[in-house]
Amino acid sequence: MDIMNVSMQWIPNQSYCSSSPLFYYVHFGSLTSPLQLNTISENQSLSGDQTIVFAGGMFELGFFKPGQLSNYHIGMDTKPNSKFVFSVILVCVFLESHVSLAADTISENQSLSGDQTIASAGGMFELGFFKPGQLSNYYIGIWYSKQVVSKMTVVWVANREIPVSDIFSSALSILDGNLVLFDESKTPVWSTNLNSTTNSGSVQAVLLDSGNLVLKAGSSNNTLEPLWQSFDHPTDTLLPGGKFGFNKITNHSQILTSWKNLEDPAPGLYSLHLAPDEGDSCIYLWNRSRQYWTSGPWNESLRNFNMVPELRLFNDFNYSSVRNENESYLTYSINNPKIVTRSLMTASGQVQQLTWLEASKQWNVFWSQPRQCDVYAFCGAFSSCKPTSLNYCKCLKGFEPNRQSDWDLQIYSGGCSRRTSVKCGNATGDGFLEKNSKSLLENSQNERALSFESCRSACLNECQCTAYVYDSSNGCSIWHGDVLNLQEFEANDGDGRILYIRAAASDIEKKRNKRMIIHVLLGAVNLNVILMIVFFSLQLSPLIAIVSTITGLLVVIFGYFLWKKTLGTKSKVAAGGEMNDAELPIFGLRAIIAATNNFAEANKLGEGGFGPVYKVTLPLCILNTNTFVSS
């Protein structure tokens, strides 16, 4: 192309931060009039090496050749000394009405949306939108920055019950003195809900290095009590300096409530409360109603709970209970600022103290309470819990998980349901399957039955009866509805009882068939051995002996494959199976306290990487608090 015979006419738009387009007109012909510095008029054209410069000398417009070929283009470039100014213009164009955020603050004329985040001054925490699972559900949350914890770890969630679907149309803003989250339709879905009379004047939200999000009046340097703070509204995590308890003035309780599962931060089944009327003990509740564990009252002189004496064994942690006329709460701090730690109410019903191990890039359970199988309804209905199993829960025989997706996420509270429904009455062919259980079920009903058979018949004749237990000392007990909190026998545990679970006739028949196949297989092996002995003792024909032996072996092989096909391999964990783990002896806390004389200094052998080491009279064991106890 000959640029001397090509010209361009242009009418520029002067609004440099506007979203309006720029208009270009190309004219082919000769130059008709000399150009002004920054303008192409109606009777002018641009060609050859001519350029125009405009916007205060920031831009040049003219022909350019980007490659080796003789192909020319009309383009616009910045002057060398205008690169920085041009970048500012680009920010203006792309952000348009958005105001850039300060590092750790959201002010009244600002909003946070899309991938924008704010970070605490020391870079410990970030606040922004996050998506915990596969669904397009987004939440406003606070998490550790990657410089501190490389694994995404959320410690607080604002809109945990109402997610948003489009983070670029949603915004976190300050409105009328409140921090408010608007969804894609500009509907408020979460707010700090402050009374407007208490927060007059300018307000801003600041993320602190403690992980606390505070709403302050005036500047971020204001040291007065915040108008609102996330530490007063914890979700499932208690950070150092945070607190949970009860405010006597506002009647507001600060509790830790678990997520539903690893992909859903909505409130789950388990929660941790402080009970001021019970000596400031920590109580664990299922479904906000049923207490399943308590820490015992707070011991101020020992600075621990009666049921959690190991709290005082960790020198880097300072636990304290505060009681005054305004509030009662529990809090903790750490002496070593290099330790990254958090207390967590898990979706499985345990409270865990976790510390971050940078070397292994994972969270380490420092201590946890209670034992997993002691959590109420942890395995759900018609499922049993085995403390020494890697995956704890499995469905009873004849049952399968209600929600396989939850079991895949190791959330078993949905329990199991029957594969085959049972019928009512003694003549239906239904029966019972045996289950060795350590725990006694709740809501049992005593039945006047003088024998095992009469107890069995009493349950079988009641359509709602799902299980029964009979022994000579306690008589007959039957249960209606769901069977919860089953625990399997431990090694050397003599406290268990045999529970009989109602089962469909087809499930009973399958079990009988399995036993029959095993008996046939054993019989074939024994017969083969006997035939070999007879043939060789009578010195019969070798051919007859060989044929008989081969026949016996074929019977054994056939029986083996029939047994494998019928019994099948061990089912997957998600389908309610379990892995064979070595039986590990587990000792209760009371036994450990007695063996160490309440962790007396006289029995202390020294300090280890995980805490003090004590001499006891028990075999070598490892507590679930990661404290090593040696004999």
pLDDT at position 29, please?
Answer: 38
Q: What is the pLDDT of residue 315?
A: 79
> Residues 347-358: pLDDT tens digits?
999 999 999 999
Output the pLDDT for position 520: 53
pLDDT at residue 623, rounded to an integer: 38
Beta bridge partners of 26: 8
Cβ(165)–Cβ(129) under 8 Å?
no
To which residue do tokens 């009970």 refer?
Answer: 275
pLDDT of residue 78: 56
Ordered alpha helix ranges (H), 346-451: 404-408
Q: What is the pLDDT of residues 580-622, one digit of tens each?
A: 333 445 566 666 777 777 777 777 776 654 567 777 754 433 3
DSSP character at residue 326: S
DSSP code of residue 164: B
- pLDDT at site 573: 32
d(CA 108, CA 73): 46
Residues of the chain with pLDDT under 50: 9-34, 82-100, 511-517, 567-584, 609, 618-631
CA 31 – CA 480 distance, rounded (Å): 99
Q: For 198, which DSSP code?
A: G
Distance CA 282, CA 306 (A): 11
| pLDDT for the residue 307 | 83
Domains of the chain, earliest start first: 101-230 (2.90.10.10), 383-504 (no CATH)
pLDDT score of 536: 56
The label of the residue with tokens 């608007």 reads 182
Q: What is the DSSP letter of 374?
A: G
**Contact at 8 Å (CB) between 284 and 270?**
yes
Q: What is the pLDDT of residue 559?
A: 60
Taking the C-alpha atoms of residue 206 and residue 575, their distance in angstroms, rounded to an integer, is 47
C-alpha distances in angstroms, 396 versus 408, 415, 431, 466?
18, 10, 15, 13
Q: Please name the helix (run of DSSP H) or strand (run of DSSP E) that holds residue 95, with its range, or none.
A: helix 83-95
- Positive or negative: CA dihedral 35, 38, 41, 46: positive
Please list, in sequence order, all residues whose beta carbon lies within 8 angstroms of the beta carbon of residue 131, skipping any fewer than 6 positions away.
Answer: 137, 138, 139
State the pLDDT at residue 210.
Answer: 96
